[in-house]
């Protein structure tokens, strides 16, 4: 019962500040603009452009959701309240992860209206739409896990946001650096690229390896967050 209690508290914290609303609103305005423009220009019933843009928007917006999760608790001293209550670190981390996922889930699910529009006025291929949404959720989960880990390492929200943004940017575009490296280093860096693992989902090709990559990033991020909170 403690994880739902904590997750509910995290959600109420997120939605009593304007951050969650602002993040969702900006996400919807930008993706709505892109959907309209690409639909008018290309006249194709596809959401591929939306998925790629949504991924970039998540890179920019997820740090705003995760930055305060631990940094603010540490700064205000409430982390001491939680860590001295009969709770396990993993429960605190999972609750915050769930709360952040609800926000990202709300953002992505609101874009389902575009899929609905395509269905009404055209005949979209649903395979890439299903895989694209799965990819977005996995991508968002990976970003949240990394963002939480960084937030757990500092008491300053701005530092947490900036470092998260920088790391997300590097992991997104690391494949451009990979092309400069000799074999096998090239493949190693490509293996870390968020873009390389997200692209198959966005275009309708799902591979177990990409699924495993995002799952690994999520589990590793949450594990390192728990370690960052561990009593020293």
d(CA 36, CA 69): 34
Q: Is 88 in the site for another protein (CB under 8 A)?
A: yes
Distance CA(131)–CA(126), nearest Å, equals 9
| Cis peptide leading into residue 93 (ω within 30°) | no
Closest separation in Å from C-beta 93 to another protein: 15
For another protein, the binding residue among 40, 41, 84, 208 (CB under 8 A) is 84
Binding of another protein by 87 (CB under 8 A): yes
Site for another protein in 41-80 (CB under 8 A): 76-78, 80
CA distance 184 to 226: 33
Asked whether position 232 contacts another protein by CB under 8 A, the answer is: yes
By beta-carbon proximity to another protein, the closer residue of 78 and 187 is 78
State which residue, 2 or 45, has the beta carbon closest to another protein. Answer: 2
Residue 2 near another protein by CB under 8 A: yes
Q: Say how far apart CA 168 and CA 61 lie, in whole Å.
A: 11
Q: How far is CA 134 from the centre of its chain?
A: 12
Contacts of residue 186, Cβ cutoff 8 Å, sequence gap at least 6: 178, 179
Query: Which is closer to another protein, CB of 206 or CB of 228?
Result: 228
What φ, ψ does residue 153 adopt, rounded to 5°?
-95, -5
Does position 6 bind another protein by CB under 8 A? Answer: yes
Is 18 a binding residue for another protein by CB under 8 A? The answer is no
DSSP state of 230: S
Given the rule CB under 8 A, which residues bind another protein?
A: 1-2, 5-6, 9, 12-13, 16-17, 76-78, 80-88, 231-232
């Amino acid at each position: 019962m403690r994880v739902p209690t904590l997750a509910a508290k995290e959600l109420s914290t997120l939605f009593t500040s304007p951050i969650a609303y602002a993040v969702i609103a900006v996400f919807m305005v930008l993706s709505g603009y892109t959907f309209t423009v690409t639909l008018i220009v290309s006249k194709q019933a596809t959401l591929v452009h939306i998925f790629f843009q949504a991924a970039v928007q998540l890179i920019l917006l997820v740090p705003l959701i995760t930055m305060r999760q631990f940094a603010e608790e540490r700064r205000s001293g409430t982390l001491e309240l939680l860590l001295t209550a009969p709770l396990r670190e993993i429960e605190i981390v999972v609750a915050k992860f769930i709360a952040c996922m609800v926000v990202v889930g709300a953002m992505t699910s609101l874009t389902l209206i575009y899929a609905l529009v395509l269905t009404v006025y055209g005949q979209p291929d649903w395979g890439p739409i299903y895989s694209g949404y799965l990819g977005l959720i996995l991508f968002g989960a990976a970003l949240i896990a990394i963002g939480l880990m960084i937030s757990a390492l500092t008491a300053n929200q701005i530092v947490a946001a900036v470092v998260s943004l920088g790391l997300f940017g590097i992991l997104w575009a690391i494949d451009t650096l990979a092309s400069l490296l000799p074999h096998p280093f090239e493949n190693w860096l490509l293996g870390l690229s968020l873009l390389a693992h997200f692209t198959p989902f966005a275009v309708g090709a799902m591979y177990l390896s990409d699924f495993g990559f995002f799952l690994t990033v999520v589990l590793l991020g949450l594990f390192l967050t728990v370690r960052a909170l561990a009593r020293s």
